[in-house]
Structure 1
Amino acid sequence: MKDEKKTRVSELYDALVEPEVEPDQLTIKEKEILHADEAAPPSKKANNLTAKEKPISHSALSYYDNRESNYQDILTLIDDAEKELTDLKFRKKLMESDFPTLLKYFREIFLKAEYEVSAIAKGALLEYFTFELLKPLESKELRLSSNDFSTWETKHYTLSYRLVKDQVINFHLMMPTSDGKIRTEKIHLMAIYPETMRVVVLNNAVLTLLEDCYQRRIYSSGQNSLLSHEMNSVFSHMKYLGFALEDNLLDNSQPLSLSFDLPHMVSTDTLDDIFITAMNNPKYDFKKPDEEHYLVLLENNHSVEIVQDKEKNITRLKLDTANSNKSLIEFFGAYPFLVSLALK
């Protein structure tokens, strides 16, 4: 009984002191004696923890990834905000600028591309720049259109502007018809070259206005005359700003001394109508110096010379207003019976 009790106590002690292992896993380790000046070598388990550090959970990785992503987003937002603030300050400068400063910005941004600004800033620069060009029309109710993009409206017509290849500003004219209806076709009226400071008025536009007035009856002669008068105030202002205006048929700043070839022969009916009108007006005269050579004498020493060339099938037309400053529109407005000479 006593031996049996001792055996049970030993088994319980062994179970508490040393875990059970399989027989083939049983190993015997020699006891290591450490000296006082030697540090205990790290255990294998300790080495593994040092090498791998503490394992990071998936949720911890996701947190740091998200925080880094948000950080980069914040940097992007700050960069965008700084760019927007810079752009707003530039647009404020545009609002405060006179024409020479606007011209400087136009050259830096469009012609030289020295720095980039937003599309809104570019649109504002073009708006302010074209307003300065058309400033004399301010007294004619000049305002930005609320219906058409990049279009200035006046009391009697509209002028749309477009920047082409960042170099030239084209203006297109649209006038209401004589009965007040809106004409959808636009006439390319002039081109502005800020780099070379030139203004080019298209003569074809002037001839179109004459044709639309006297042949197609779209416009009245009063509309054309009003347009000529107001556009010449714009031309004078552009010259003041430093632009050079090339010779054109709409300019009335000098006497009209114009020679050009018509690609057709003037009809006999047209010559007969001119002859009859001239003979019925005591201020006019009609002469025939030579075969196929006609001379119409008008008031104030104005004259029209007509020379026909049957071999080449052309007509040389020469208009002269002596000392009177007139545009072609104003000339034909004064002598509408001669318009048929310029139009086929």
Structure 2
Amino acid sequence: MAVEDMCACAVPPLANSVGVHLLSSARIMSLLTHVLACLFGMGSWVAINGMWVELPLIVNDIPEHWLLPSYLTVLIQMANIGPLFITLMHRFRPGVLDERPVIYGIVGLGIVATFLLAFLWKHTVTVGGSLRSVPLLTLSFLLSVVDCTSSVTFLPFMMRLRPQYLTTYFAGEGLSGLVPAVVALIQGVGVVHCENATLSNNSNITDNGMLQAIYQPAKFSAQVFFIFLSVMMVVCLVAFLLLNHHPAVARERKSERYFSGELDREKKEQGLSLNAQTPEQKPMISPSEAGKRELRSSFGRGTYSIFEVVFIFVVLAWVNALTNAVLPSVQSYSCMPYGNKAYHLAATMGAVANPVACFIAMFIPIR
């Protein structure tokens, strides 16, 4: 009887140790998924954000000079053909387009484009009798297509995982602007000093009265910076591969239907509408309550009126136009009187402002 009591007392500690081991293993796997989701999100806009913060170092070495930010803004807007194509496919052929092959394609294109950019950004081609940075502009357009298309492909893929990983993904998306900005701050813009320029004429008379700006190199070149961006895209691809195929991540998915045909049927029924699960709605309204609540007006009781909906979209369009088009295209002109250092700091801190604001909004949500 005493032996049986001893055995009975010995079982609970063994079961507890096994349970603790399984719990710790699950936490490690969950942490791995969080890290992969963050690294995957960092690849979403790291290329274009990196281009913006590197502009102050390359504008003096290309024919476009201070016009380059305006050209880059136009190219980014033209690159929205990628999201437009994905949206039309989901609208008219729901369930046909799988986002996973598209992600492989655009991330691979981003790796190649950033790597080529490191070696070709200075090359020029004569167009219409004047030199133009055709390789730089072409590769910038391709990177814009990659980053714009990631907005409508990365998010549907992450929605296959549990909701907590979507928050981590958006944190990584914010880091896609913060990390290149920090690297650019470390790189610096180089020191500028003035020297007397010696002008010679046919009479061998020299004049030392003119000053010439001499630009010292930064701590590392633009080529190294673009290679760093290419490495970041490689990290994004590796994170996506692990999120897609690692067995530990498979247990973190919402359902085992991820690779089954039932998901395609749901796509056809739902049309992959992202409106039902926007990032701001999820912390505010649980999925069970989202379908039960009707939209309430912030100006009074009842549902949103047509005027309020139009007003919200007009404000949204105006803010996005300023942030993504107007201000970046004129930033070089507004900073020109203050020199490259002011332009470098403005572009870099502008890239830092967005993730910092998003981080603050996580703790102080403003409805």
Q: How high is the TM-score relative to the length of structure 1?
A: 0.22
Point out the structure with the larger strand share.
1
Q: How high is the TM-score relative to the length of structure 2?
A: 0.21
Q: Pick the structure with greater CA Rg.
A: 1
Point out the structure with the larger helix share.
2
Higher relative contact order (CA 8 A, sep 6+): 2
